[in-house]
Amino acid sequence: MRKLWLTLSALVLAVGLAACGSNGGEAADPEAPLKVGVNPVPHAEILKYVKDNLAEKAGLEIEIVEFNDYVQPNVALKEAKLDANYFQHVPYLEEEIKQKGYEFTFVAPVHIEPLGLYSRSVKDVGALPAGAEVAIPNDATNGGRALNLLAKNGLLTLKDGAGTAATQRDITANPKDLKIHELEAAQLPRSLEDVGAAVVNGNYAIEAGLKPASDSLVLEDGKDNPYANGLVVRTGDEKDPRITKLVSLLQSPEVKKFIEEKYAGGVLPAF
């Protein structure tokens, strides 16, 4: 009886393990809705276009879950409350993996949100007064990205080799004695009432009613831009047939046309 019990226990364990996915959850049901976490603009808008216009014909059901920050979509993906998320670029994902140990994979790029410098008080970057307060994102990757934008436009000089990981410690010259303040990215549009200028992520700029192509003092170039936002999954789920279907839809000619027409340069296709 003991041998029989051990054999049955081993069989149950093997069946249980076979039913589990690579991340300890149940194997994905290819017919189940695909839960995707997004920021409202432009990610949710792009994904809603796919859901309303392309997904049914492809045999894909999408459930859109919106988040208003850059932290919770990765937490929810780790906890298997989502099947994928679409809100971040590779440098941000790499920093998240480094800091939090996520086992995630960037599957496919979709769009670029050019980072822009905005102001309520001046109309030209050269008109920023000495000692002006400038707000930038407080997360490591977008903070470095903002400093590089300021440096490219002559407001700062950064240490050679600082690259995308630049911090304020890498500033070697600040001819206008700008006062750099770091704020949570979602707060930056509101900060424009209190600072001389702010470097704002494209999604938050659009959500606040700003038009990056015309309202920014300076705007990132989309060419060779490493900050394409794309689809991210738990490592091991890349071949989920629902994911492969979604990638093909997000990188379709229809989505490219939608992005170009809707955002008029404020968001750029990355495929």
Give, in degrees to the nearest 5, the angle at Cα 87 between 211 and 194.
45
CATH classification (class only), 116-219: alpha beta
Mean pLDDT of the chain: 90
pLDDT on residue 1 = 47
Helix locations, the chain, DSSP H = 2-18, 45-50, 56-58, 72-78, 90-100, 140-152, 188-191, 202-207, 212-215, 241-250, 253-263
Pairwise CA distance, residues 30 & 28, whole Å: 6
More confident site: 93 or 140: 93
pLDDT on residue 46 = 98
Q: What is the pLDDT of residues 194-234, one digit of tens each?
A: 999 999 999 899 999 999 999 999 999 877 888 999 999 99
Residue ranges of domains in the chain: 29-113+226-269, 116-219
Q: What is the pLDDT of residues 99-139, one digit of tens each?
A: 999 999 999 999 999 999 999 999 999 999 999 999 999 99
pLDDT on residue 71 = 96
Taken as a whole, the chain contains a residue count of 271
Q: Do the domains spanning 29-113+226-269 and 116-219 agree at the CATH topology level? A: yes
Q: 137 has which bridge partners?
A: 183
CB proximity list for 193: less than 8 A, separation 6 or greater: 120
pLDDT on residue 250 = 98
Is the pLDDT confidence value at 263 over 50?
yes
pLDDT on residue 223 = 78
Is the pLDDT confidence value at 15 over 80?
no
pTM of the entire structure?
A: 0.77
CATH superfamily of 29-113+226-269: Periplasmic binding protein-like II (3.40.190.10)
pLDDT on residue 13 = 39
